[in-house]
Structure 1
Amino acid sequence: MQLPLLAHIMKFSDLNLCAEIVSKLPAKLSVATDIQRLAIPEVLAGKDLLALAQTGSGKTYAYGLPLLHTIINDNTHSGEICALVLVPTRELALQVGEALKLVSASMGITVLYGGVDKAEQLKQLEQNPLQRKPQLVVATPGRLLDFLRQQQLSLSSVKQLVLDEADRLIEMGFWPDVESILEFMPANRQTLLFSATLAPELNDKALKLLNNPKKIAAQALNSVVSDINESLYLVNKGDKARALTALIKQHQWSQVLVFINGRDDADKLAKRLVKAGINAAALHGDKEHLQRQQTLEAFKACELQVLVTTDLLSRGIHIDALPVVINLDLPSSAPVYVHRIGRTARAGDNGIAISLVCHGEADSLKAIKLLTGRDLKLEALDGFEVTDKPSSGESKRAPRDKKANRRSQNKRSAKEFAAKRTKFPTK
């Protein structure tokens, strides 16, 4: 599917948003990004939307500002939930909720996610500090569906639905929950899908949810931000941790976000970095919510130099001026690579993305090249000679002698039978 690609400079004051919202935007956000300029008029016009936008392009305000505008100007609602935003992770739910609260002091916004006390969230739903029920809810699918099934929440008044990081909702297995949630809300609604990549599976599912959607793109399909300086180094699999330590010590970056595929591996790597004198910590889904929140806040505040994480933070999480992202492991899913390195070079800043690649990741690298349409060449890393050999694809085990195997089996069977006769003699 070919989406229109446009570029133009426009101020938020030119996008027909109500003055109350524009006046509360941070001072540095006077000019809309491409996705904001393209999406806001379409959302205000009431159209369903399929929007492609890179991470860090400002898509939260691209859908969030017109949602708030619609709620402010809608005199027909009765204090019930008018808009719902579904996101894949609790960290993204918190970030989206906080961003929208900054420009919406006149209305109630509630954020729902798993891993915390349900009773406290239920209290927020029943009555917020403004003595009004929330009109906009940001939620992860699992926790929201839990509230719906227990009839502790109603979506009967929802007029606008946003699926943020829609492809990630599919990858993480949330789509059945999304489909169940849809049964609790009116069919006659405006639906907005935002994603950084557009896989065929998402395209098929999206078309079933959307009604004659407007399709927009702020960049080419599955592309990488041009302000990212990418380097891919070929190293031995067993040298990756040592190479990472050497790079961090050599460059003395103020902040480094390291992606690794396994949760246990994340903990082990963080401990190894700390032992090497590097201020590091691990963050993944097995950590308690409070610990995850404190670790992420410490990293954002530059109190922590290196954060080792799984793909928990590959989507949507904004870290101001993050200079470096390093893939210790290439992801098995090519779109995840785009999201991972998109954590740097956000909002026009420059960034560095480094991947440490071993021969065993050849298929993953090939898939990433195919998706992004770029020739990502592997370089040598000084001080780390590659001694591992590429796999030939052939088994190292010698061919089995099937006849010999049968003879051995026959001998074993005869011995076992004789042993049984000795143990249980016949009369």
Structure 2
Amino acid sequence: MSFSDLNLDSRLLTALPAQCQTPTAVQQQTLPSIMLGQDVLAFAPTGSGKTLAFGLGLLQQLSQQPNAQPAMTTPPSFANEYDDAEELPAFRPSSSRAHMRAVVIVPTRELASQISEVLTPLAKSVSLNVATLCGGVDVAQQAATFDQQPAQIVIATPGRLLDLLRQKLISLKGVQHLVLDEADRLLEMGFWPDVQKLMSAMPALQQQLLFSATLPNELEAQIQELAPHAHRFAVGSQNSVVEGVAQTCYLVNKGSKAQALIALLKAQLSAQQVLVFINARDNADSLSKRLNKAGIQALALHGEKDQTERDNALLAFRNGDIKVLVATDLLARGIDVTALPIVVNLDLPESAPVYVHRVGRTARAGLSGVAISLVSHGEANALAAIRELTGEALPLLALEGFPVTDQPASEARSKRAPRDKKANRRNMNKRTK
């Protein structure tokens, strides 16, 4: 099948990137339903082409009716569940903001920027505009820019979009199409209330598209509430790691992880770019400094960095100016670094689905890649959860030069027990003297 077989606008076909000759499985399955205006819930591995799936579907619909006024429909069922629902701004037809007809909501600024880069040239080919609304930019400046260049498609993080809405700097009354990209993250407790409030401000909403690589069972209720009649599509096994990722887990002492990483980078990975995931922001900075002291060019990227630092670090990594980028899970969702060969988990994530997203930064768009995890005995539960979710065996291997002297938690407790008893007896003797 080719993209032309999907009856896409010829201008979109011409504007497609050169490497996009054949639609991926998720694009083949979902695009016909999306272009018909149907609700869609799609699960597909990271790097499988989800952005173009919903992006081309939206652009096709908007290009066919560029000046159509949205029909007002019944607001979502939860629209009146919040006390501040009446504070949402009134629709101002004379405002340039009335042009907004599709909103793509994402969990991070980096993902918003990436989607904008993919969709902007395609949108221009059919005389449509794309705007990005997310943190790191002054609110007033962002609103002014949006007024100067109205956009039909807005890509936004939920917090910034809600902030602009509450300040009555935008209106969502004309939005007909809503996309939740990385839907599982957006349905988690931190984002879910904001998403509900945003949807309550979209009375003209006609289509909902939810895309993700993973969906924990506990989020099924929210999915049903959001899109009860959505057409479901699944490419591969849900919560699976994309084909082409060679996964290796090394058992190492907790205190040896940084040195083990340095040894791997110098011995096996010296000529390649490596994305290293770590759980704590402070540890990301300290690890980056340690790598640089060891002669390995590295930068840290996490949510405490200002937007300029974040942009510069990601750009330097993409351009090959640095070999190693140490990141928190800020980069685990949707970020595409072209032909990234290696991902390393210095820490296993506490949430098993996050592992799928992390290792999905490599082996994108049909390429192959390597995912290495340095695992300590204390992460046994996290590893068990990852194995259960993905169905992968993930055996623990020995790393040459790094013998394991730490004891499993159960053995450590059993060995401490006698000492604890002796200590208790000593304390009792002291108290009785």
In the superposition, the TM-score normalised over structure 2's length comes to 0.88
Which shows bigger deviation, 196-205 or 70-79? 70-79
Whole-Å separation in 1 of the counterparts to 2:348 and 2:275: 14
- Relative distance call for 1:406 and 1:171 in structure 2 (3 A) is farther
Deviation for aligned residue 1:152: 0.8
Whole-Å separation in 2 of the counterparts to 1:203 and 1:13: 35
Whole-Å separation in 2 of the counterparts to 1:357 and 1:64: 38
2:171 corresponds in structure 1 to: 154
1:6 corresponds in structure 2 to: none
Matched, 1:94 2:86: no
Matched, 1:82 2:101: yes
- Which consecutive residues of structure 2, in runs of 5 or more, have no partner in the other structure? 70-92
Whole-Å separation in 2 of the counterparts to 1:348 and 1:403: 65
Residue from 51, 62, 79 that aligns with 2:42: 51
Matched, 1:315 2:306: no
1:140 corresponds in structure 2 to: 157
1:125 corresponds in structure 2 to: 146
Any conservation in 2 of the 1:110–1:124 contact (CA below 8 Å)? no
Matched, 1:285 2:306: no
- Relative distance call for 1:172 and 1:385 in structure 2 (3 A) is farther
1:421 corresponds in structure 2 to: none
CA deviation string 1:212-244 (max 9, x = no partner): 110001111111112011110001111111110
Deviation for aligned residue 1:404: 7.0
Whole-Å separation in 1 of the counterparts to 2:167 and 2:429: 61
1:183-194 aligned at under 5 Å gives the runs 183-186=200-203, 188-194=205-211
Any conservation in 1 of the 2:187–2:222 contact (CA below 8 Å)? no
2:279 corresponds in structure 1 to: 261
CA deviation string 1:311-363 (max 9, x = no partner): 00001000000000000000000000000000000001110100000100000
Whole-Å separation in 1 of the counterparts to 2:305 and 2:211: 28
- Which consecutive residues of structure 1, in runs of 5 or more, have no partner in the other structure? 1-9, 412-427
Whole-Å separation in 2 of the counterparts to 1:311 and 1:370: 21
Whole-Å separation in 2 of the counterparts to 1:62 and 1:391: 46
Any conservation in 1 of the 2:176–2:204 contact (CA below 8 Å)? no
Matched, 1:218 2:229: no
Whole-Å separation in 1 of the counterparts to 2:429 and 2:253: 41
2:79 corresponds in structure 1 to: none
Matched, 1:299 2:317: yes
Whole-Å separation in 1 of the counterparts to 2:253 and 2:193: 40
2:16 corresponds in structure 1 to: 25
- SS at 1:232's partner residue? strand
Q: Report the AA paired with residue 179 of structure 1.
A: Q
Whole-Å separation in 2 of the counterparts to 1:390 and 1:403: 28
Any conservation in 2 of the 1:253–1:324 contact (CA below 8 Å)? no
Whole-Å separation in 2 of the counterparts to 1:53 and 1:235: 32
- Relative distance call for 1:406 and 1:206 in structure 2 (3 A) is farther
Deviation for aligned residue 1:307: 0.3
Whole-Å separation in 1 of the counterparts to 2:400 and 2:120: 48
Any conservation in 2 of the 1:88–1:172 contact (CA below 8 Å)? no
Whole-Å separation in 1 of the counterparts to 2:383 and 2:365: 27
- SS at 2:221's partner residue? helix
Which ranges of 4 or more aligned residues in structure 1 deviate by more than 3 Å? Answer: 393-397, 399-408
1:423 corresponds in structure 2 to: none
Deviation for aligned residue 1:115: 1.9
- SS at 2:389's partner residue? helix
Deviation for aligned residue 1:170: 3.1
2:221 corresponds in structure 1 to: 204
Matched, 1:109 2:149: no
Q: Report the AA paired with residue 190 of structure 2.
A: G
- SS at 1:31's partner residue? coil
- SS at 2:410's partner residue? coil
Count of residue pairs brought into register by the alignment: 397
Deviation for aligned residue 1:171: 4.0
- Relative distance call for 1:170 and 1:405 in structure 2 (3 A) is farther
Q: Report the AA paired with residue 81 of structure 1.
A: M
Q: Report the AA paired with residue 20 of structure 1.
A: R
1:273 corresponds in structure 2 to: 291
Any conservation in 2 of the 1:260–1:327 contact (CA below 8 Å)? yes
CA deviation string 1:131-156 (max 9, x = no partner): xx211100000000001111111111
Matched, 1:237 2:229: no
Q: Report the AA paired with residue 61 of structure 2.
A: T
Deviation for aligned residue 1:402: 10
Matched, 1:170 2:161: no
RMSD: 2.0
- SS at 1:348's partner residue? coil
Whole-Å separation in 1 of the counterparts to 2:244 and 2:301: 26
